[in-house]
Structure 1
Amino acid sequence: MVLSAADKTNVKGVFAKIGGQADEYGADALERMFATYPATKTYFPHFDLAKGSAQVKGHGKKVAGALVETVNHINDLSGALSKL
C-alpha cells in the first residue's frame, strides 16, 4: 500500500494529537483488546493481565513507541520497523 502525501499528512496530524500520551493510549489499547478479545490473552501467558499491571503498561509503551517512531519516519517504514 502506498500512502499519498495527503495520507502521510493526516497520519502525522493524528499522532501529533496523541503527543506525549502515547504510552497511556498503548496500555489502554491492550487492556481493551484483552477485554474484547479474551482469546488474545493466550499470547501473553507470562504477563500479569490485571488492569493497570506494570507488564501491560510496559508492553503498551513499547508498542505505542514503535508506532510513534514509525510515523516519525513515515518515508522509511522498513528502516523504522526493522528495530522491532
Structure 2
Amino acid sequence: MALSAEDIQTVSAIWEKIYADVEDNGADVLSRMFKEHHHTVNYFKNFTQLQSVAETASAVDIAALAEVRAHGKKVFSALHDMVPHLTNVDALKETINPLAKKHAAELKVDVKDFRILFENLLDLIGEKQGADAKTAFKKVTDLIYEEIKAAY
C-alpha cells in the first residue's frame, strides 16, 4: 500500500505533534498495552519495576515508571526513523528489517503484538488530534505492520 503525497504530508504533521511529547506519549502507549494485553508484560522480564507492579498498578502509574518511559521513547524514536521513509518503501524496509528480525529471533515477540501497539498508538492519536488524524495515521501503521510482518 503506497501513500499519496497528500497522505504523507498529513501523517508527517500528525506525527510531528505526537513526537513532540515523545516520552509521555511513548510511555502512555506502552502502559495501555501492558494493562489491556497483560501478556505483553512478559516480554519485559528485565523491567523489574514493571514486573513488580504490572498486575495492580494503573496505566498512569505504569506510564510513570522510568523503564517504561525510556522504552516508550525508544519505540517512538524507531517510529520517528521510519516516518521520513514513507515515500520510499525500500528505505522503509531497510529501517524496519533489523528491528523486526531482532524482535522475531532474539526477543521472541509475536508479530501480532505490534498490531496491539499500533492500535494503542492510534487511540492516543485519536484522543489528542481527533478521529480524522487517527484514520489518516492508520495508513502508516498498516504499512509499517505489513513490512514488519514480511520481515518476520
TM over 0.5: yes
1:33-64: CA deviations, max 9, x gaps?
11111111111111121522211111100001
Q: For 2:73, which of 61, 64, 68 is the aligned residue?
A: 61
User: CA–CA distance in 2 between the matches of 1:56 and 1:19?
Assistant: 16
> Equivalent residue for 1:35?
35
Instruction: Give the letter for the 1:30 counterpart.
Output: L
Q: Give the structure, 1 or 2, with the largest relative contact order (CA under 8 Å, sep 6 or more).
A: 1
Unaligned 5+ segments in structure 2 are 54-61, 100-152
Counterparts of 1:1-84 in structure 2, within 5 Å, are 1-47=1-47, 48-49=49-50, 50=53, 51=62, 52-75=64-87, 76-81=91-96, 84=99
Aligned residue pairs total 84
RMSD after superposition: 1.8
Q: Percent identity?
A: 39
2:22 aligns to what SS in structure 1? helix
Cα deviation code 1:4-51 (max 9, x no counterpart): 212211210201222420221011100111111111111111112152
The one-letter code matched in structure 2 to 1:63 is V
Q: TM (normalized to structure 1)?
A: 0.82
Query: Which consecutive segments of 4 or more residues in structure 1 shift more than 4 A?
Result: none
Structure with greater proportional helix content: 2
